[in-house]
Amino acid sequence: MEQEKDLKSGRRIKVLVVDDASFMRKALTDILAGDEEIDVVGAAKQGQEALEFIEAHDPDVITMDVDMPVMDGITAVKHLMIRQRKPVVMISSLGYQGMVALNAFRLGAVDFFPKPSGAVSLNIKEGADELCRIIKQAAMISPDTIRRVRLNLQQSERVNPAPANGMVIVFAMLGAAGNMIRLFANLKPSTNLAFLVATDIPIAIADPYAVALSELLSWRFYTNRLTDFISCSLGCGEVTISTVLENDGLCAFKDDDLSVELSEFATIFTGKADRCLAVVLGGEKSCAIERINDVSQCCEALLALSPIRCVYGSASEISLSSTDKALQVNSEEELYRQIEAFGRKLKLAN
Read out DSSP for 24-61? HHHHHHHHHHTSTTEEEEEEESSHHHHHHHHHHH--SE
Q: Is the pLDDT of residue 252 over 50?
A: no
Q: Looking at this protein, which amino acid is placed at residue 69? A: P
Q: What burial class does residue 237 get, using C-beta atoms within 10 Å of its C-beta: 0-12 exposed, 13-18 middle, 19+ buried?
A: buried
Strand-pair category, 238-243 with 252-255: unpaired
Per-residue pLDDT, 6: 58
Is 75 strand, coil or helix?
helix
The topology (CATH level 3) of 166-349 is Rossmann fold (3.40.50)
Instruction: Cite the beta strand spans of 65-155 per DSSP E.
Output: 88-92, 111-114
Q: Which residue would you say has higher pLDDT here, 234 or 340?
A: 340
Per-residue pLDDT, 116: 55
Compute the distance between CA of residue 185 and CA of residue 193 in angstroms, rounded to an integer: 15
Q: Helices 73-83 and 47-57, interaxial angle, to 10°?
A: 30
Instruction: Give percent of the chain above pLDDT 90.
Output: 33
| pLDDT tens digits for range 166-191 | 888 898 887 888 899 999 988 988 88
Per-residue pLDDT, 123: 58
Residue 121 is classified by DSSP as G
Q: Is the pLDDT of residue 42 over 90?
A: yes
Q: What number is the average pLDDT over the span 297-324? A: 86
CATH code given to domain 6-145: 3.40.50.2300
Per-residue pLDDT, 205: 79
Residue 251 is classified by DSSP as -
Helices (H) and strands (E) in the chain, counts: 12, 14
Q: What burial class does residue 221 get, using C-beta atoms within 10 Å of its C-beta: 0-12 exposed, 13-18 middle, 19+ buried?
A: buried
CA 129 centroid distance within chain: 20
Q: Is the pLDDT of residue 95 over 80?
A: no
Separation in Å, CA 159 to CA 35, 212, 215, 276, 345: 50, 19, 15, 20, 19
Identify the CA nearest to 242 among candidates 170, 291, 184, 179. Answer: 170
Q: What number is the average pLDDT over the span 226-243? A: 62
Domain ranges of the chain: 6-145, 166-349
Per-residue pLDDT, 257: 32
Q: Rounded to two decimals, what is the model's pTM? A: 0.77
Range of lowest pLDDT (3-12, 156-165, 206-215)? 3-12
Fold match, 6-145 / 166-349? yes
Angle made by CA atoms 250, 253, 257, in degrees to the nearest 5: 140
Q: Looking at this protein, which amino acid is placed at residue 281? A: L
pLDDT band per the 50, 70, 90 thresholds, residue 36: very high
